[in-house]
Every structure is written in structure tokens, then in C-alpha cells.
């Protein structure tokens, strides 16, 4: 077994049990039925906030018909806690990729058809923090950077990872956060 496959097996040996623990915590916290999706929320100003129904995996509009466009990370965390009261939501992190969400509602409207927007949702983190599982494709390398003196946002760590790859004539494939230190703030990143 070569060095890269051995490292990949080692990483999977560490990460898979952690991910399994996260999924168990999510399922245990879900109460009624097994969760098929992770809790997420999305905002588009002027439209009702959206959240993932963790039993169906579908995006649904704010059930109160009034919540739109949360302005702070603290507000996003509070909104996650409101949408998923049965889960122990402890933090939020912006998703790595924008997604297309259909059927956004205008405030005070119950019928929401035909409006699609591309947004970057927030993942509502459940329980103790577990970093994302990063697969390391062939010919790719796994790296991580930790700075206990830096407590910065997801976007800033994305920039650090992208710049580190560019300096080594590589392209950033995927990344995740390490060591939370505030709401959507972290002490490090891991990347491929």
C-alpha cells in the first residue's frame, strides 16, 4: 500500500466514526423518524426564509409566514434553533457551494410557485462540532491549517485554503472548517 492510500485510509478511519456519531446524534435528536437531510436554512431578502425539512429533504418556507432576511450570524443561529427546536443546534456555518432553491414565497403569501433563486445556505450544526468528511481523490493531497490566534469566518478560511493551493500550483477541490471559536468562526481549515 502506497503512502497516499495509507493516509487516505487513516483519514477515513478517523473521520467516518466521527461522521457516524454526528448522524446518530442528528437521528436521535430528530424525534419523529429518521433524518434524511441535515438541517439548513436559506435567506433571500424580500422572500420568506427557507429551511430543509429533515424528514423529507425538501426546502420549505418559513412556517410563520413572516421571517425574511436575517442580518447577523447570531440571527441565523437563532433562526436555526427556531426551525429545529427538537435538535440541539449549537452553531452555523455557511455551505461551501451555492444551490438553487425553488418556490420562494413573498412575505404574507402562502402559494409559492415558480420563484427560484441561487443562494448559499447555512448549515445548522447539531451538538458537538464534527468537521466535514473530505474525500481525497487520486492525485490529490490533503492539507490542514490551524491558527489558534485566528478566529475568522468560513469565507476567510476558504480564501486561505485557495491561496495555499494556488501557491503550490494546485487547485482547491473541497474544504471544511476546523475548531469552532464563535458563531460561523473557526480556528482552522482542512482542504483537498
Of 126, 150, 182, which closes a domain? 126
In a domain, 65, yes or no: yes
Same domain, 118 and 171: no
Q: Sign of torsion, CA 9 15 21 24?
A: negative
In 3D space, the residue among 114, 104, 77 whose CA is nearest the CA of residue 92 turns out to be 77
In a domain, 11, yes or no: no
What's the gap between Cα 14 and its chain centre?
Answer: 20
Report whether pLDDT(19) > 90: no
Q: What is the mean pLDDT of residues 93-101?
A: 94
Q: What is the mean pLDDT of residues 55-65?
A: 92
Asked if residue 31 lies in contact with residue 51, where contact means CB atoms within 8 angstroms, the answer is: no
Q: Burial of 16 by CB count in 10 Å (0-12 exposed, 13-18 middle, 19+ buried)?
A: exposed
Q: What is the mean pLDDT of residues 77-104?
A: 95
Give the predicted TM-score (pTM) of the model.
0.77
Same domain, 99 and 156: no
In a domain, 57, yes or no: yes
Asked if residue 143 lies in contact with residue 164, where contact means CB atoms within 8 angstroms, the answer is: yes
What's the gap between Cα 102 and its chain centre?
Answer: 19
Range of the domain at 143: 131-192
Confidence of residue 33 (pLDDT cuts 50, 70, 90): low
CA distance 139 to 148: 30
CATH code where residue 53 lies: 3.90.570.10
Same domain, 37 and 122: yes
Same domain, 160 and 120: no
Amino acid at each position: 500500500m502506497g503512502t497516499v492510500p495509507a493516509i487516505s485510509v487513516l483519514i477515513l478511519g478517523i473521520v467516518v466514526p466521527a461522521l457516524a456519531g454526528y448522524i446518530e446524534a442528528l437521528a436521535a435528536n430528530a424525534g419523529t423518524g429518521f433524518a434524511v437531510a441535515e438541517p439548513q436554512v436559506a435567506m433571500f431578502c424580500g422572500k420568506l426564509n427557507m429551511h430543509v425539512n429533515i424528514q423529507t429533504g425538501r426546502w420549505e418556507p418559513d412556517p410563520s409566514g413572516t421571517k425574511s432576511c436575517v442580518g447577523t450570524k447570531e440571527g441565523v443561529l437563532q433562526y436555526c434553533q427556531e426551525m429545529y427546536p427538537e435538535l440541539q443546534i449549537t452553531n452555523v456555518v455557511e455551505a461551501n457551494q451555492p444551490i438553487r432553491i425553488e418556490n420562494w414565497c413573498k412575505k404574507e403569501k402562502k402559494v409559492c410557485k415558480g420563484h427560484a433563486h441561487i443562494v448559499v445556505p447555512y448549515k445548522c450544526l447539531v451538538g458537538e462540532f464534527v468537521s466535514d468528511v473530505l474525500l481525497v481523490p487520486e492525485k490529490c493531497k490533503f492539507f490542514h491549517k490551524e491558527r489558534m490566534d485566528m478566529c475568522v469566518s468560513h469565507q476567510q478560511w476558504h480564501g486561505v485554503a485557495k491561496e495555499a493551493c494556488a501557491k503550490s500550483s494546485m487547485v482547491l477541490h473541497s474544504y471544511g472548517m476546523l475548531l469552532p471559536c464563535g458563531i460561523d468562526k473557526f480556528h482552522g481549515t482542512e482542504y483537498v
